[in-house]
Amino acid sequence: MQTSQTLNGKTALVTGGAARLGAAIVRRLHAAGASVVIHYRRSADKAERLRDDLLAQRPDSASIVQGDLIDPAVWTRLIEETIAFGGGLDILINNASSYYPTPLGEATTEHWDDLFGSNARAPFFLAQAAVPALRERGGCIVNLVDIHAERPNPKHPVYCMAKAANAMMVKSLALELAPEVRVNGVAPGAALWPDDYPADDEKRAILERIPMGQPAGAEQIAEAVMCFAAGPAYVTGQILAVDGGRSVQQ
């Protein structure tokens, strides 16, 4: 995918941008010239350190905003604060996500509300709040989906269903918002191990199902997001699997 690889003069909002994949995405967009707004829920220290690091590289190029995306009052505020910082909004990255098992028989309505809230409801309504600003500047939305939106992950039915809704959101919003706003998605497979991930034998079992034989790493996911953020201008409604071939493995 050929892109201009420059985001000079553009402003990006990255939800869940303080750590892990979100932080890598923030750094990649910033390195391409974008001004970045780093959303976080609880990771204030990480968000502040990342902001300060980016400001040291380029003054007035990074800001932070706190909010629990389950709270409807937060969606419009995030967009308003981003516009106040950057003078507009060009790129919305819906990265923030809850993830944990909900085995059948143990799932609760609280699990449902949380997983659908972070993975489907919040990205949709945040996008809706951002549409006027994105249309004004010919912007784009990139959702972080998951290969398990199509291939269910055992013991995670609610999460997988929520990510399936997220994937359909990419296609639906691409149709609704064309031609002014492009909407695409990146679907990671194994990228970074969770901090509390179980024993090495389970990691080996996962890696055996990946033709490339290793996790993606955060930088590979960030690079895929960058491809959509920077163009090409004719691509919309697409979801790119960054999974080392896992989605084509039998």
Per-residue pLDDT tens over the stretch 10-32 = 999 999 999 999 999 999 999 99
Q: Per the residue annotation, which of 40, 159, 197, 234 is the catalytic one?
A: 159
Q: Let me know if 100 is a catalytic residue.
A: no
Tokens describing residue 171: 């296609």
Range of lowest pLDDT (4-8, 96-100, 169-173, 223-227): 4-8
Q: Which positions ≥6 away from 217 have C-beta within 8 Å?
A: 191, 192
pTM for the structure as a whole: 0.94
Torsion angle defined by CA atoms of residues 72, 73, 76 and 79, in that order, rounded to the nearest 10 degrees: -100
Provide the CA 209 distance to its chain's centre, in angstroms.
Answer: 24
Q: For the chain, which residues make up each domain, given as ranges?
A: 11-242
Please tell me the CATH code under which domain 11-242 is placed: 3.40.50.720
Burial of 163 (0-12, 13-18, 19+ CB in 10 A): buried
Average pLDDT in the chain: 92
